[in-house]
Structure 1
Amino acid sequence: MSKREYSQDNSDSEEQESTSSNETESTSESDSSDSSSSSSEESTTSSSSEETSEENSSSSEDEETETKTKTNGQVVENKQSFSDGKSLPWMVGKNHTFPVAGTEFTIDQRYQYIKKIGHGAYGIVISAKDRFENESVAIKKIMGVFDRLTDAKRTLREIKLLKHFNHENILCLTDLLIPPVKENFTSVYLVTELLATDLRQIINSEQQLSEDHIRYFLYQIIRALKYLHSGKVIHRDLKPGNILLNENCDLKICDFGLARISDPEEENHLLTQYVATRWYRSPEIILSWGEYTSAVDVWSTGCIFAEILNRKPLFPGKDFMHQLKLITMVVGKPSKKEINSLENEKARKFMKKLPNRKQFDFHKLFPSASEDAIDLLSKMLQFNPQKRITVEESLEHPFFATIHDPDDEPICEETFDFSFEKDKLTKGKLRRLIYNEIIDFHKKKRQTYKEK
């Protein structure tokens, strides 16, 4: 069997399955025209909380506050004017508005617009100069946040997760812009680190990648997953476009709008109706194979690994049936016992009709890969999630022997609480919860500045 029998040309475009989370999520400098699909989410909702009464008041309420910034390597004093006593020490406190891709950006004058770097159904991303920190940032405007409950819940979820995480290989939230009007704001602005590109653009480029490059990329992804999974979080939408890189090949995972709980002791009804990028979707999700686990992220990582090796997607399925055919042609058809364990009757019938196949020879499929790379990849792309290698086991694999450092692979000390997903919320309550998250972010940031 040739490679053409189970794989398609990289020019096949990936189907868009919903109106949220495409290249807008990529806070990289390079423009991208390639669209990827994302979420049609379940109608789960978050719990209500008491609204924080403290406004965004500054620890210094004078009209002028002296701050120190670095300019051209020199520390200089810079007086910044504050408008109404509500501004924070690190904010100018006055907004400026300018057009970007047919919409208005209204952001604090602390940030100087540079250019648009991403545009999709979920929002627009620009690069900007942070005049206070004297560095470049990415600012994402999430538009029409409350047009749909799923969009509002996704926004709340991502804000809470980005505030919770603290890891070198996970995108860092540096600022949340306070809405000018508390009661009826419709957009949310997230400020993050700015990275030069994403893995999708690297794969599609002419740049040569050695196995050391590939090893380092994959190690950082799995290192981040170890942290996420230890905090009981499944990313659920790993794909090259959600993996950002800088010039030093340092890597960060972004886009947590589809993340969910991974604790087997909790009710996993939150994991139903999952729809994300098909090409990286695990068999257990496609087949509704009972309650799925963090193993879905390992499968997605294996798909990314294979795509880096061959510079094209491994399973570019046109629909779920074609996707499963491509998967079984590469990794083999599951056993009769495994097929009979499928809960969905239609899924069982479909899988039984597929021709019997064994795993394709990965040496022929990835001729340039080393023996260790092929061994790890084959263990990541196991059809049965119970047979799939874990992230902890992956880090111990010989493929990472030269860079694996158990003392530098942290876990998340505090698990993330997804209980807010379980209760029904109105758009008004979601607006208050998002506003409270923004205010809480600034309260903690102000406390950090005070301690310094």
Structure 2
Amino acid sequence: MSSSTEKPKLVYPEFLSARYTLLRELGQGAYGIVSAARDKKTGTDVAIKKVHNVFQKPILAKRALREIKLLRHFAGHENITSILDMETADNMNFNEIYISQELMEADLHQIIRSEQPLSDAHYQYFIYQICRGLKYIHSANVLHRDLKPGNLLVNADCELKICDFGLARGLTDSQDVGFMTEYVATRWYRAPEIMLAFRNYTKAIDMWSVGCILAELLGGKPLFKGRDYVDQLNQILGVLGTPDDATLSRIGSDRAQMYIRSLPKMKVVPWQHLYPKASPNALDLLNRLLQFDPEKRLTVEQALAHPYLESYHDSEDEPSHPQLFDFSFEVVDNIDEMKAMISDEIKEFKRKIAGGASDGLVLPTVPKPQELSGNIRSPQEPVERDYRHEDHNGPMDIDEELKMKGH
């Protein structure tokens, strides 16, 4: 996160600067730049995400369209980031989209790396909010597929919002066609069944990621930091032990299955050895989330009801979405068609907002614990990020990687 004294590298186009005053640049990624701005109309500070080169490739246009549609579908939930405004150039020649959202102090990655003291109450509240938002997502038959600390935004009052739906997919998507498309990021938080090509994928892939995030909160660093797919698998096996035969038989990759069977049988490492200061309930939840077999992993509803989260759990205040998300647009691959669809989404959004209507549902608010209010600090200096888990330049699947390594 840039210091407010630095000169911003970003310049807003005229159609954007008419309403927003650029305050500072917050960060850059592969798909765009995020900046803090002041809304001249409301006087509030917002985050503006500039998504650039949207129509350079069909995969980028699809990702932008997916993100906008999903954020609109989930609008109104406190633990999912919402769109406040969207802007593009007036003509259809636009190649950039500016999305205005709530301004949050930091992401969870930055909070963990900043080494500010966090208590078990912080861990509980963060995990509770992740699960509360994820319940809403899963109830619409959507898999987020990219849950990680960097995609969890946090403010000074410990309020947390899930962001970045660019890799999301529907539960009913074909598992053989398209499910792995774009799925090259975030190796450290990826469920083993994704790497090992299990016969089918379920909402359990997101629950594995929640377990990895809990482990990172408890230990202050990622649990499984694999250099590549094979190393990632080895690190998982080194902690969870060798899976039983029934689980191994469901691995779709024959080469990966043979590789695991060829290894010496590994024992489970007790969680209390890895996290001796963690509470028994925290370790029990961690154990139930980080199960190698996805069928043994807790669902998000079961996680919310776990004793570790009982201080916040209230089934009446953990809504499900009333509608399944429509992924039918995924069949469109023509850039011009997707540009028209994005333009239509923006126009419909603006019509609803101009008419005084909410773009989402009116939902109950999550209670905020008084003892945690106002005690999260935004990191004053940029936090160095390790992108090795995100920038994967090697083989695209574990089969290819095992073959390359001579297995």
Q: Same fold (TM over 0.5)?
A: yes
Task: Quote the residue 1:137 is aligned against.
Answer: 46
8 Å contact 1:362–1:378 — kept in the other structure?
yes
**TM-score after normalising by structure 1:** 0.75
132, 155, 159: which one aligns with 2:64: 155
- Say whether residues 1:116 and 2:64 are aligned partners: no
Matched position secondary structure for 2:47:
strand
289, 298, 304: which one aligns with 1:389: 298
Aligned pairs for 1:54-133 (under 5 A) are 101=9, 105-106=13-14, 107-133=16-42
Letter of the 1:433 counterpart: M
Matched position secondary structure for 2:338:
helix
Gaps of 5+ in 2: 359-407
180, 183, 186: which one aligns with 2:95: 186
314, 333, 342: which one aligns with 2:242: 333
What does the per-residue CA deviation read over 1:282-334, in whole Å, with 9 as the maximum and x for residues that have no partner?
Answer: 00001111221110110001001000100011000000000000001111111
Task: Quote the residue 1:438 is aligned against.
Answer: 346
**TM-score after normalising by structure 2:** 0.83
Task: Quote the residue 1:258 is aligned against.
Answer: 167
Q: What's the offset of the Cα at 1:100?
A: 5.2
Mark the CA change 1:409 to 1:353 in structure 2 (over 3 Å): closer, same or farther.
same
Q: Distance in 2 between matches of 1:103 and 1:211?
A: 42
Letter of the 1:244 counterpart: L
8 Å contact 1:108–1:177 — kept in the other structure?
no
What does the per-residue CA deviation read over 1:321-366, in whole Å, with 9 as the maximum and x for residues that have no partner?
Answer: 0000000111111112321222211111221122212321111111
- Say whether residues 1:225 and 2:142 are aligned partners: no
Q: What's the offset of the Cα at 1:104?
A: 5.8
Q: Distance in 1 between matches of 2:283 and 2:207?
A: 15
Gaps of 5+ in 1: 1-29, 33-98
Letter of the 2:89 counterpart: P
Matched position secondary structure for 2:355:
helix
Task: Quote the residue 1:244 is aligned against.
Answer: 153
Q: What's the offset of the Cα at 1:259?
A: 0.5
Q: Distance in 1 between matches of 2:263 and 2:145?
A: 27
Mark the CA change 1:238 to 1:105 in structure 2 (over 3 Å): closer, same or farther.
farther
Matched position secondary structure for 2:239:
helix
Q: Distance in 2 between matches of 1:102 and 1:349?
A: 51
Q: Distance in 2 between matches of 1:272 and 1:246?
A: 33
8 Å contact 2:88–2:96 — kept in the other structure?
no
109, 133, 147: which one aligns with 1:200: 109
Mark the CA change 1:31 to 1:386 in structure 2 (over 3 Å): closer, same or farther.
farther
Task: Quote the residue 2:83 is aligned against.
Answer: 173
Task: Quote the residue 1:321 is aligned against.
Answer: 230
Larger Rg: 1 or 2? 1
Task: Quote the residue 1:67 is aligned against.
Answer: none
Task: Quote the residue 2:143 is aligned against.
Answer: 234
Q: Distance in 1 between matches of 2:12 and 2:45?
A: 20
Matched position secondary structure for 1:140:
strand
Matched position secondary structure for 1:117:
strand
Task: Quote the residue 1:354 is aligned against.
Answer: 263
Q: What's the offset of the Cα at 1:103?
A: 6.6
Q: Distance in 1 between matches of 2:125 and 2:346?
A: 35
- Say whether residues 1:293 and 2:202 are aligned partners: yes
Alignment length (residue pairs): 352
Letter of the 2:334 counterpart: T
Q: What's the offset of the Cα at 1:218?
A: 0.5
Q: Distance in 2 between matches of 1:316 and 1:414?
A: 37
Q: Distance in 1 between matches of 2:39 and 2:278?
A: 42
Task: Quote the residue 1:418 is aligned against.
Answer: 327
Letter of the 1:428 counterpart: D
Greater strand share, structure number? 1
Letter of the 2:307 counterpart: P
Letter of the 1:172 counterpart: S
Letter of the 2:324 counterpart: T
Task: Quote the residue 1:66 is aligned against.
Answer: none
Q: Distance in 1 between matches of 2:204 and 2:352?
A: 34
Q: What's the offset of the Cα at 1:404?
A: 0.8
Letter of the 1:169 counterpart: N
Q: Distance in 2 between matches of 1:432 and 1:108?
A: 24
Letter of the 2:79 counterpart: N
Q: Distance in 2 between matches of 1:231 and 1:198?
A: 25
Supply the RMSD in Å over aligned alpha carbons.
1.8
